[in-house]
Amino acid sequence: MTRDSRVVVAKRVDGGDDADLSEITELARAAGYEVVGTLSQSRDEDAAYHFGEGKVDELAALVAETNAEAVIVDNRLGPYQTYNIGGKLPEGVEVIDRFTLILEIFGQRANTRKAQLQVELAELRYELPRAEAKTSLAKRDERPGFMGLGEYDESREQDIKAQISRIKQELDAIADKEETRREQRRESGFDLVALAGYTNAGKSTLMRRLADDLDVGENEGLHPDLDPTAESENRLFTTLGTTTRRADTGTRDVLLTDTVGFISDLPHWLVESFESTLDSVYRADLVLLVVDASESIEEMREKLVTCHDTLYERNEAPIVTVLNKIDRVDDDELLEKREALSALAPNPVAVSGLTGENVDELTDRIEAELPDWREERLLLPLSDDAMSLVSWLYDHGHVREEEYTGEEVLVEFSARPAIVEQARAKAGEIRRADAPDAETEAAPVADGDGSESEASLDGR
């Protein structure tokens, strides 16, 4: 199969439901296919063909009529169902189910070693339970190359398991390095905010709006992976890995990460394969769950439920729901949707990443929801080291007041607890260096909680 191949998309839904082919059509186009026909059926699943056998005959006729080179089925097919459907289609026509298509798209978008490993892991996990069935079918039907399996190899299952183990070890090593980098960023005074949500919810557009196209080039020495661009195309899966940019929300320094978009009906094994990418969400200080407000209430509800199932299982950070694309809905419709979804999305922020409407409200909410900073006051002897510490505090926290009295400087600031502890230690070193031969007398300076602290001065 090549890009621009002609395909027919098909979908079965349980009896009574209407089949929506819009998403699978967009997925096929995202993979580079030309959709030349569609077919759907509403009925219970057939164990042999997934569809009814008569519907598969109809599918075969449509494939012949449109000269399609493949059929993409928006369902999860078992290996026997794939084999049986393929047996009714014209010679050489491939059967691709939903998850095979998703993996193909992932493979096309995997531009980093981490993304490539995750795609390979997902492919292996998908192949593992099918390998034995495929070889069994190939031997029975005397078609050893059926479905691309190749010649029968009894060790294939063991090879797959060994490859899975190797890839997981390499991904774990990458995850350890990324966790170290996250902690270094926090120690540098950054709060980590992750954008999560479905594909095409407008995450990348919103990210560009929040980051305000800030040039991060000057920070490349400290944060070499900061990417000054984030795609905002109307395509599924434009973001496979993660893109991080610096955002200014007011008093806090925020690193905003756009992650791979969710998509409906993903099996557990596929989500697990991209666990290391989702760590950017799970280990953030705050998660912005972006939802397309222009979709129907039922679509929004279904996606919110799926996102909650994925996020709340492991995420400990606050989650703020962002209703995006409000430029596409009127006030009455937006109010109706907020009320209907209040149980799943209490107190959401409604914005337009495209026009910038209410983005200021969102940045205020980000600051309000981030972990509290500690208030601190340090009284330092005037020296070059003291001035360096004050400058460091401007870079790593929020300095509210800087007052010079005689030969001392009083600095009041707020920062992450780890930054406050580092500042106290640095202050103690400066004080001791200023009076190396005498016991340091610490004039009481009130902490942010009203208590008095000598550690603010001498590091004790």
pLDDT digits (tens, 9 = 90+) for 128-165: 876 766 556 555 555 544 444 444 455 777 888 899 99
352 is in an annotated binding site: yes
Q: Please report the pLDDT score of residue 179 as a whole number.
A: 80
**Cβ density class 232-256: b for 16+ within 10 Å, e for less:** beeebbbbbbbbbbbbebeebbbbb
Give the pLDDT band of residue 244 (cuts 50, 70, 90): confident
Task: Find out if CATH 3.10.330.20 is the number for domain 188-369.
Answer: no
Rounded CA-CA distance 428/455 in Å is 7
Number of H helices, E strands in the chain: 15, 15
Give helix 331-340 / helix 297-311 axis angle, nearest 10°.
Answer: 50
If one compares 140 and 316, the residue with the highest pLDDT of the two is 316
Mean pLDDT over 76-83 rounds to: 86
pLDDT at 258: 84
Q: What is the CA radius of gyration of the chain?
A: 28
Higher pLDDT, 126 or 380: 380
Average pLDDT on 72-96 reads 91
Mean pLDDT of 366-394: 89
Q: What CATH number has the domain spanning 6-108?
A: 3.40.50.11060
Q: Report whether 197 belongs to an annotated binding site.
A: yes
- At residue 459, does pLDDT exceed 50? no
**Contact status, residue 347 vs residue 341, Cβ threshold 8 Å:** no
**Reported confidence tier of residue 6, pLDDT bands at 50, 70, 90:** very high
Residue 239 has pLDDT above 70, yes or no: no
Confidence of residue 116 (pLDDT cuts 50, 70, 90): confident
Question: Residue 404: beta bridge partners?
Answer: 409
Say what the pLDDT of residue 86 is: 93
Question: Which pLDDT does position 147 carry in this prediction?
Answer: 47
How high is the pLDDT of residue 142? 53
* 260 marked among binding-site residues: yes
Each residue's pLDDT tens digit, 12-63? 998 766 788 988 998 899 889 999 999 999 999 999 999 999 999 999 999 9
Count other Cβ atoms within 10 Å, centred on residue 280.
23
> Does 201 belong to an annotated binding site?
yes
Indicate the CATH number for domain 374-458.
Answer: 3.30.70
How confident is the model at residue 389, as a pLDDT? Answer: 92
111 is in an annotated binding site: no
The pLDDT value recorded for residue 149 is 41
d(CA 121, CA 98): 17
**Average of pLDDT values for 112-131?**
81
What is the pLDDT, as a whole number, of residue 288?
A: 93
pTM equals: 0.65
Mean pLDDT, range 156-176, rounded to an integer: 87
Of 429 and 309, which is predicted with more confidence?
429
Flag whether 257 is marked binding: no
Q: Is the pLDDT of residue 238 over 70?
A: no
Is the separation of the CB atoms in 46 and 53 below 8 Å? yes
Percent of the residues in the chain that have a pLDDT greater than 90, as a whole number: 33
Residue burial 146-156, b: 16+ Cβ < 10 Å; e: rest: bbebeeeeeeb
326 is in an annotated binding site: yes
Is position 325 annotated in a ligand binding site?
yes
Asked if residue 294 belongs to a known ligand binding site, the reply is no
| Residue 356 annotated as binding site | no
Q: How far apart are CA 60 and CA 62, in angstroms?
A: 5
* 219 is an annotated ligand-binding site residue: no
